[in-house]
């Protein structure tokens, strides 16, 4: 039982990008995080060259041009967001096969200029060369060229006129590893501001269960939603990242929903709230930072809802 639990913890931790492969026989050298495909609306910097180099162009060249425009716009927004600190609250829910909550634990933290968000395992300052304040651990340049794009009309998100762009895997792209095998079954929709190309919303999900690791592991569910909010400087930036996944193994499974809420942006290098007073949602930040136990800790304390 103990060895099985350790294997489960290692597998899920690895798939979420929180550790190294526990057993090469069970998992691939890769990172399932990347299949979120811009779920945070950040990390697009550097994709321009990759997109321009993709041949042949998708049939809907207009949709492709809009994606390229979004890449350029996101480069600007990333640079501008470096001027802001914010609060991050994370809600973890362990679920049963029917979606019923089995356990839950929450945490809040202040994210400042020189710290990447602690997703449960990372701590400490990072160099300026890393992702913009660590808003996303994803490397989108590895997956953006796996999709085709089609313009699917217009819509309004937060009152902003948007183009709606659907994306789906390219049939001719061969999966080189297990993460790409899962990726090739993900479909989704982007909402891009008509005026300046800002990514306003993104959602996607796995279309069917995908077996990986010699059918020993099956990803049965994977869905995500990224939403935005208007920042103090007038830009739109991340507000909520919500995703759910369900991974089954022989004789057991792991299903979880995680919601990250980003709020209360403030100028970087300015005075932050007293940690003892807690974040804006009223929770004692330092106390929550001591609760960095894994999501599998049965006795992890529950905190009141944030936001």
Q: Give per-residue pLDDT as tens, 199-232.
A: 999 999 999 999 887 778 999 999 999 999 999 9
**pLDDT tier at 142 (50, 70, 90 boundaries)?**
low
Please give the model's pTM, rounded to 2 decimal places. Answer: 0.66
In a domain, 172, yes or no: yes
How many domains is the chain built from?
Answer: 1
**Best CA proximity match to 69, nearest among 42, 81, 82, 51:** 51
Q: What is the residue-wise DSSP string for 185-203?
A: TEEEEEEEETTT--EEEEE
pLDDT (tens digit per residue) in 255-293: 999 999 999 999 886 544 444 444 555 554 433 333 333
Q: What is the pLDDT of residue 114?
A: 53
Q: Chain-wide mean pLDDT for the chain?
A: 70
**Best CA proximity match to 188, nearest among 160, 154, 147, 228:** 147
pLDDT (tens digit per residue) in 74-115: 889 988 988 899 999 999 999 998 889 999 999 999 888 655
In a domain, 307, yes or no: no
In a domain, 14, yes or no: no
In a domain, 59, yes or no: yes
Percent helix / strand / coil, the chain, rounded to 5: 25, 35, 40
In a domain, 298, yes or no: no
Domain span including residue 243: 29-289
How does 291-301 read in b/e, with b if 16+ C-beta sit within 10 Å?
Answer: eeeebeeeebe
The CA-atom distances, in angstroms, between 104 and each of 93, 114, 138, 256 are 5, 29, 25, 10
In a domain, 295, yes or no: no
In a domain, 109, yes or no: yes
In a domain, 299, yes or no: no
How does 220-253 read in b/e, with b if 16+ C-beta sit within 10 Å?
Answer: bbbbbbbbbeebeeebbbbbbbbbbbbbbbeeee
**Which structure tokens are listed for 142?**
């590895």
């Amino acid at each position: 039982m103990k060895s099985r639990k350790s294997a489960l913890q290692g597998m899920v931790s690895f798939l979420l990008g929180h550790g190294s492969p526990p057993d090469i026989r069970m998992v691939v050298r890769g990172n399932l995080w990347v299949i979120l495909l811009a779920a945070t609306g950040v990390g697009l910097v550097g994709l321009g060259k990759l997109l321009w180099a993709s041949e042949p162009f998708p049939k809907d060249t207009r949709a492709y041009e809009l994606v390229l425009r979004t890449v350029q716009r996101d480069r600007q927004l990333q640079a501008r967001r470096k001027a802001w600190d914010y609060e991050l609250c994370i809600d973890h829910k362990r679920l049963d096969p029917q979606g019923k909550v089995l356990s839950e634990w929450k945490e809040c933290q202040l994210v400042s200029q020189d710290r990447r968000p602690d997703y449960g395992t990372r701590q400490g300052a990072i160099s300026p060369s890393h992702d913009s304040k660590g808003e996303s651990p994803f490397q989108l340049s590895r997956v953006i060229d796996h999709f085709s794009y089609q313009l699917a009309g217009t819509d309004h998100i937060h009152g902003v006129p948007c183009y709606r762009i659907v994306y789906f895997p390219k049939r001719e792209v061969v999966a080189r590893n297990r993460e790409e095998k899962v990726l090739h079954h993900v479909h989704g929709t982007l909402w891009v501001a008509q005026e300046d190309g800002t990514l306003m919303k993104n959602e996607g999900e796995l279309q069917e269960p995908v077996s990986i690791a010699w059918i020993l592991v099956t990803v049965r569910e994977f869905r995500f939603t990224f939403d935005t909010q208007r920042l103090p400087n007038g830009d739109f930036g991340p507000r909520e990242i919500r995703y759910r996944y369900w991974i089954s193994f022989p004789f057991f499974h792991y299903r979880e929903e995680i919601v990250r809420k980003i709020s209360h942006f403030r100028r970087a290098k300015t005075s932050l709230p007293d940690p003892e007073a807690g974040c804006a949602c009223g929770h004692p930040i330092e106390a929550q930072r001591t609760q960095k136990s894994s999501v599998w800790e049965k006795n992890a304390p529950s905190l009141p809802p944030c936001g």
